[in-house]
Structure 1
C-alpha cells in the first residue's frame, strides 16, 4: 500500500496563455504563490505546498471549450487559513473584475465552518477559495494522535 501525502500540482489547459498568465499571476500572487517556471507553453506557480500550472491548449483542444457539467474538471478549491482570508480574496477579486459565481457564504451542509467564494478564470473554469473549521479540527486530532503514538 502507498500513502498519498498531498497533491503536488494541478495542470490545466487554457485557450490564451498570455491572458491566463496575467490572470493567474495576479490571483496566485495575491494568495502567496510565486511564478517558478516558464518554458515553452507552460507556466507554473508554487507556494511550497502545491504547484499550479497552466499550458496552452493544442489546436484540437481549442475546438472543445470547457463545459461545466461535462466529463472532466469541475472546480479547484484553494484552502485558505481563515474565513477572513476568503473575504479578503473576494474583495480583491472584485477589484480585478473577476466573474463571481457565488459570493462568500457559509455552507453548513458541507460541514462545520465551511465558508467559501466561487469564481471563474478567463476560460470559465470554476475556482473556489474556502476555509473549513471541521478540517482544522480533524488535522489537530490527527496530529495529537500521531504525537501520542
Structure 2
C-alpha cells in the first residue's frame, strides 16, 4: 500500500498574475520562504518543507474566487507561536490586506488570523497546541525540581 508522507506543494490559479505575484512575494518573504522556481506564467516559493505555487488562470476565467465555491475553502500556514500569528496580522494590516477574522482563539488552544489574497482566496496563519505544550513543559519541570523520595 502506498502511504502519503506529506503534502509536497499547492498550486493555485490567479486572475492577475503580476498583482498576485507581488502579494505572495511580500507575504512569503515575511514568512521566510524563498522563490524556488519561476517561469513566464508561474512562480513557486518554498521554506524547505512546504512549496506554494501560483499560475495565471486561463483567459476568460478571471473572476475572483468566492468563499463557498467548489474547491479549497482556505489554506493554513502553521506558525511557530501565537506571537507569530500576531506579527502576521500586523504585517497584513500594514500591507492593507483584508482580514476576515482577526487574530484570536477560534477553538480550544487554536489561535489564528484569517485573510484574503487579491482574488478573495481565504488564507490563514495559525498555531495549535501552544498552551497545552507550555503546560506540559511546566509540569515536567516541576517533576524534575521535586526532591527524590526514598
Q: TM-score, structure 2 length as denominator?
A: 0.83
1:1-149 to structure 2, matched below 5 A, reads 1-62=1-62, 64-108=63-107, 112-133=108-129
**Aligned pairs, number:** 132
Range with bigger deviation, 64-73 or 81-90:
64-73
Distance 1:12 1:98 in 2: 18
Larger radius of gyration: 2
Which segments of structure 1 move beyond 3 Å, counting only runs of 4 or more?
A: none
TM-score between the two structures when normalised by the length of structure 1: 0.84
More helix by share: 1
CA distance in 2, matches of 1:122, 1:70: 16
Q: Secondary structure at the match of 1:68?
A: coil
- Give the unaligned 5+ runs of structure 2: 134-150
